[in-house]
Structure 1
Amino acid sequence: MKRKNDWPTELANFLLKTRKTPFKWGENDCCLFAANAILAMGGDDVAKDVRGHYTTAIGARRIMKSLGAANVVELLTQRLGEPDGKLVRGAIVAVESDGQQVAGVFYHKPWALTESGLQGMPLESVIATWSLN
């Protein structure tokens, strides 16, 4: 992925902005959060084909199923390639939160958007990482 020269600042600004935006399926959910983090850093929109196509958790599951992904790790692998295990600033992460897989981004720690809002997650919650290099 080609990143903007100032991608760390752009990612920090994105996180600050997102912490004030409530969770909403199809607009500001965990997978779109990760896709939007990639956009903020200067990457392509890896979710352009699904934006605006669902508004509920059931709709999100239907989209994932139609794409052949059983979970968030499989969906991210389809979009980003095989996980590389590198936990570096700007990496996309899959974490476990309350028994569910959630997409997020690493910036000094894993950050994930849950139905409770943007949360810093413990390192132990990380399931897979994509460094995007």
Structure 2
Amino acid sequence: MGLNVYPGEPRRKAPLRVRNWEQVLATAITRAQAQPFAWGQHDCATWAFDLHRDLTNGPDHAALWRGRYRTRVGCGRVLRRLGWAGLEEGGRALLGDPLADVRLAQRGDLVLGGAPEAFGVVIGAKAAFVAPEGLVRLSLASCRLAWRT
């Protein structure tokens, strides 16, 4: 399946997962439950994109924003500096086109959902999100977009 990241660029395939991706996912969930929320260090986007990197041995997309903000307002500023109007635009720029339907998402895939909107990772019938109150699990029905990992 090809992904068109930017118009005019060649299409690319979804990254392949590492051999032990299920253990990587389980370990990431356990660690996220124990780690306190911190904007720009351990927040929704940083955790989800770090996990995407670890599941695929792919690029460190979160390096674009890691450590560059300490508040929700600061996060918005960094997104705008990167040229993105919001999280969805950032997801599309880094991961390409989302799946045609969020119901096609599988364990380990990235999702965008919740209120306020956040990046999370599919863990079965639910998705896990790092939030100020800890690691929260929401139904996939509350997710709007999904990207294959």
Deviation of 1:96 (Å): 1.8
Structure 2 unmatched ranges of 5 or more = 1-14
Q: Which runs of 4+ in 1 moved over 4 A?
A: none
Q: Contact conserved, 1:14 with 1:40, CA < 8 A, in 2?
A: no
Matched, 1:11 2:11: no
1:95-120 CA distances to partner (integer Å, 9 max, x unpaired)? 122xx111000011211111111111
Matched, 1:122 2:139: yes
1:44-72 CA distances to partner (integer Å, 9 max, x unpaired)? 21111221211221111101111222221
The alignment's TM-score, normalised by the length of structure 1, stands at 0.91
Structure 1 unmatched ranges of 5 or more = none
The alignment's TM-score, normalised by the length of structure 2, stands at 0.81
1:47 partner SS: helix
Percent identity among equivalent residues?
Answer: 29
| 2:80 counterpart residue number | 65
Greater Rg over alpha carbons, structure: 2
Matched, 1:103 2:86: no
Matched, 1:34 2:48: yes
Calculate the aligned-residue CA RMSD, in Å. Answer: 1.3
User: Within 1, Cα distance between the matches of 2:45 and 2:109?
Assistant: 14
| 2:11 counterpart residue number | none
The aligned amino acid for 1:114 is: A
Deviation of 1:22 (Å): 1.0
The aligned amino acid for 1:106 is: V
